[in-house]
Amino acid sequence: MGKKLYVGGLPYSTTEDALKDAFSQAGTVSSATIIMDKMTGRSKGFGFVEMSNDEEANKAIEMFNGKEFEGRSLTVNEARPMEARPPRRDFNRGGGGGGYGGGNDGGRRNSW
């Protein structure tokens, strides 16, 4: 089974193909993904590379962690499982608060 690596410090211009090509120096790359910002479509400066086995993943960490890649210093280590996060509140669909409703009116009374 492959091992997934976290790769941080990527230049914003790096492509997934360039990332895959670089890490293939350490062994077989199963996948290379750069995380993109949903709003801007721009790279967030980090991604994940999955190597085909633990030995190649360890070699990639040794080869690339702290080394320069396209002008920036990389952070490469074993990826941790994503932590559970609380559900996000969607204010565009109601139910998440708003500006209406009871509460303190600051001493003012409506005169309807």
Helices 16-23, 54-64: crossing angle, 10 deg rounding:
100
How many distinct structural domains can be found in the chain?
A: 1
- CATH code of the domain containing 23: 3.30.70.330
Range in 36-40, 60-64, 78-82, 99-103 with the lowest mean pLDDT: 99-103
Is the Cβ–Cβ distance between 26 and 98 less than 8 Å? no
- DSSP tag of 95: S
Contact 45, 10 (CB under 8 A): yes
pLDDT in tens, 26-61: 999 999 999 999 999 999 999 999 999 999 999 999
Query: In this structure, is residue 44 part of a structural domain?
Result: yes
Question: Which residues form the domain of 53?
Answer: 3-78
Of 105 and 51, the one with more pLDDT: 51
Q: What is the pLDDT of residues 14-28, one digit of tens each?
A: 999 999 999 999 999
